[in-house]
Amino acid sequence: MMRNHFGNISLGSFLPAIRRVTLAAVMLSLALPAAAVINTGTDAEAELPYWEVVEHGVSIRLVQRLPDQTRGFFQARGFSIADSELIAQSCVFQTVFKNLAPPSDPGVIEYNLDEWIVHAGGAQRRMKTREDWQKEWTARRAPKAAQLAFEWGLIPTRQTYRPGDYNWGLSVFNLAPGTPFDLDVVWRQGGERRSARLKGVVCAPDIHVSPAAP
């Protein structure tokens, strides 16, 4: 028998409660999603650096895009040199978003780029989305055909993915070439808000690289 300030209490009387608490803790830990895995490296296809979040059922990858690539792409779609330069100097990434859940999983994944936060130079800012650019192009009187090509080139501001769905597009962070930043990515999975921080992302430098020989 164990005596303390509660009086005579048998340790055995605590054991069922201890077991219940321990079992509950184990079940809770199993129910929680695994922590996000952050990967960095060189994208095999683009041959440029990437930063990636991989969590249960979701993958979000940012791949650097050189300003020269952006200039050429949008000049070929009807933008003036000045307008294409504005895009090229705004820190453009190729963004790939995937729902990795199997078809048997009924859950959907949703995101809204207005919730993503860019941390750079001690300040916070939003990304520059389709809606922001639309105002820009209207003010600059960019050709309508070029505006349409630009809109379809950008990753949608809001999107919903069912299991197995994925898409990609350009994302713009409104920073100068070579600028380092952290990015809080936010999504909803099964109605639950999730987030992860990509640290040490770097906008591609404004360098001129000759295309590789075929």
- 17-39 residue pLDDT tens: 334 333 333 333 333 345 679 99
pLDDT value, residue 106: 73
The whole-number average pLDDT for the span 49-58 is 93
The half-sphere exposure of 175 on its side-chain side, counting CA atoms within 13 A, is 27
Alpha carbon separation from 158 to 24, 27, 88, 131, 187 (Å, rounded): 37, 34, 23, 11, 10
Q: What is the pTM of this model?
A: 0.80
Alpha carbon separation from 112 to 69, 72, 186, 209 (Å, rounded): 26, 29, 8, 34
DSSP assignment string, 6-44: TEEE-GGGTHHHHHHHHHHHHHHHHHSPPPPEEEEEE-T
CA neighbor of 165 nearest in space, from 95, 109, 99: 99
Query: Is 42 exposed, middle or buried (CB count within 10 Å of its CB: 0-12, 13-18, 19+)?
Result: exposed
Question: From CA 214, how far away is CA 210, in angstroms rounded?
Answer: 12
Domain boundaries, the chain: 37-202
pLDDT value, residue 188: 94
For residue range 104-132, list pLDDT tens digits in order: 777 799 999 999 999 999 999 999 999 99
Other beta carbons less than 10 A from residue 22's beta carbon: 10
Distance of CA 70 to the CA centre of its chain: 20
CA dihedral 84, 88, 91, 95 (to 10 degrees): 70
pLDDT value, residue 142: 96
